[in-house]
């Protein structure tokens, strides 16, 4: 019997992390499918469902779970209803959710209430915002855990999850970055009309607990970057509350030094990072992928608080003009040694090794709290 694995994806970011796992699972003989929802289906964010559709050898199911401006609780409710209906007709042997997004929380909840085996990717990490709460909720709902580090494994255990359900595999996106992207930087620049010889990358997402100040934070950050005189490729923010204020700031930026993109194919983004002079913002890429690639990064604000540390990472608030200008002046184009705290680029191999073990599938679905010590 061929086991069926369903990967749930709502954003361009989580698909980049799930894709290497799905490739490895498919190549190992599992039947792979994607439940595609969230930002993937929204025009403003590049309709990135098209990237999922390019994945060969997998079924794809779409569900529109939100309209522009929907609050997170409504998105949660819509996704619960939609995914529950989906499970009535399509019951996978394993559902795989990632991280801390609202779609992952909804699907993990539906799996738990229907006793469908589920795996949570990259649990046990901290960030200090409501996203962290969602991430820990996903860990409590899931039956299996594939984490990026020993620190993350210990945190999942502290939530009462048994050690035998936790597997340290590293961060899956590093698998992609550790290999050739398959495109040249010249091809990337031509495809996305990037005119700069050298460039930094900026990704500044809203922080849901700070939605009222995201506009002023964005004004301060991008105003300082404009004052630096350097050119930047800006990846548009996600659709969390506060994104509208950031978009309004992006619309005012000078086009001769800021190239704004709604999204990028993951292979192209990987090549863009490998050739960048620095990275600025509050994306997890700045504290995970950038250190792995030796790319200097400036983490802005609270979104990634305590998520990771490396010699190549600096921190500042969006209002700290001197710190931001100093970082750009001193770190622009300065290479660092690769930092491997989140893995060495072998997550997919380790993921499949676990799935091939009969004990994985024999583990019961009735969860019990496992006390430490």
Cα within 13 Å of Cα(250), Cβ side: 20
Give the pLDDT score at 373: 62
Residue count of the chain:
373
CATH 3.40.50.2000 domain extents, the chain: 4-177+344-362, 185-331
Cβ atoms 5, 31 nearer than 8 A: yes
Measured CA to CA, the distance from residue 13 to residue 208 in angstroms comes to 17
Cα within 13 Å of Cα(70), Cβ side: 17
Find out if CATH 3.40.50.300 is the number for domain 4-177+344-362. no
Q: What is the pLDDT of residues 249-268, one digit of tens each?
A: 999 999 999 999 999 998 99
Cβ atoms 238, 247 nearer than 8 A: no
Average pLDDT, the chain: 95
Measured CA to CA, the distance from residue 125 to residue 306 in angstroms comes to 9
Cβ atoms 122, 97 nearer than 8 A: no
Closest to 103 (Cα-Cα) out of 23, 22, 55, 39: 39
Going 71 to 73 to 75 to 81, the CA torsion angle's sign is negative
Cβ atoms 21, 5 nearer than 8 A: no
Closest to 177 (Cα-Cα) out of 297, 346, 299: 346
User: Which stretches of the chain drop beneath a pLDDT of 70?
Assistant: 373
This prediction's pTM: 0.88
**Type and span of the H or E element at 31:** strand 31-36
Measured CA to CA, the distance from residue 252 to residue 236 in angstroms comes to 14
Cβ atoms 278, 332 nearer than 8 A: yes
Cβ atoms 75, 101 nearer than 8 A: no
Cβ atoms 207, 242 nearer than 8 A: yes
Q: Is 209 helix (H, G, I), strand (E, B) or coil?
A: helix
Q: What is the pLDDT of residues 264-296, one digit of tens each?
A: 998 999 999 999 999 999 999 999 999 999 999
Cβ atoms 38, 12 nearer than 8 A: no
Residues paired with residue 261 on neighbouring β-strands, in sequence order: 235
CATH number for the segment(s) 185-331? 3.40.50.2000
The distance from CA 123 to its chain's CA centroid, rounded to whole angstroms, is 12
Measured CA to CA, the distance from residue 13 to residue 103 in angstroms comes to 13
Q: Is 198 helix (H, G, I), strand (E, B) or coil?
A: coil
Give the pLDDT score at 244: 94
Closest to 136 (Cα-Cα) out of 161, 172, 118, 162: 161
As given in the structure block, the two tokens for residue 78 are 């819509």
Measured CA to CA, the distance from residue 17 to residue 100 in angstroms comes to 13
């Amino acid at each position: 019997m061929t086991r069926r694995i369903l990967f749930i994806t709502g954003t361009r970011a989580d698909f980049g992390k799930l894709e290497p796992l799905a490739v490895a699972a498919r190549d190992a003989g599992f039947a792979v499918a994607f439940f595609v929802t969230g930002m993937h289906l929204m025009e403003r964010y590049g309709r990135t469902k098209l990237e999922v559709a390019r994945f060969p050898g997998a079924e794809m199911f779409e569900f529109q779970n939100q309209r522009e401006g929907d609050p997170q609780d409504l998105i949660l409710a819509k996704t619960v209803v939609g995914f529950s209906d989906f499970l009535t007709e399509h019951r996978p042997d394993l559902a795989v959710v990632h991280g801390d997004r609202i779609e992952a929380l909804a699907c993990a909840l539906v799996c738990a209430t229907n006793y469908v085996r589920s795996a949570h990717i990259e649990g046990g990490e901290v960030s200090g915002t409501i996203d962290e709460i969602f991430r820990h909720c996903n860990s409590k709902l899931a039956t299996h855990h594939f984490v990026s580090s020993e620190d993350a494994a210990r945190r999942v255990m502290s939530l009462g999850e048994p050690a035998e359900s936790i597997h340290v595999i590293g961060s899956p996106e590093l698998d992609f970055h550790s290999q050739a992207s398959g495109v040249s930087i010249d091809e990337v620049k031509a495809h996305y009309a990037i005119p700069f010889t050298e460039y930094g990358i900026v990704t500044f997402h809203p922080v849901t607990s700070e939605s009222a100040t995201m506009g002023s934070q964005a004004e301060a950050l991008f105003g300082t970057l404009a004052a630096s005189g350097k050119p930047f490729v800006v990846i548009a923010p996600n659709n969390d509350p506060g994104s509208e204020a950031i978009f309004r700031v992006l619309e005012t930026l000078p086009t001769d030094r800021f190239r704004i993109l709604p999204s990028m194919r993951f292979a192209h983004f990987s090549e863009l990072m490998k050739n960048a002079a620095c990275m600025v913002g509050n994306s997890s890429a700045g504290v995970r992928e950038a250190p792995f690639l030796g790319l200097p990064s400036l983490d802005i604000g609270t979104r990634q608080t305590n998520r990771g540390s490396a010699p190549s990472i600096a921190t500042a608030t969006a209002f700290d003009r001197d710190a931001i200008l100093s970082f750009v002046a001193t770190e622009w184009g300065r290479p660092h040694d690769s930092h491997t705290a989140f893995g060495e680029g072998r997550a997919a191999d380790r993921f499949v090794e676990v799935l091939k073990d009969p004990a994985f599938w024999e583990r019961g679905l009735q969860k019990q709290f496992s006390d430490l010590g």
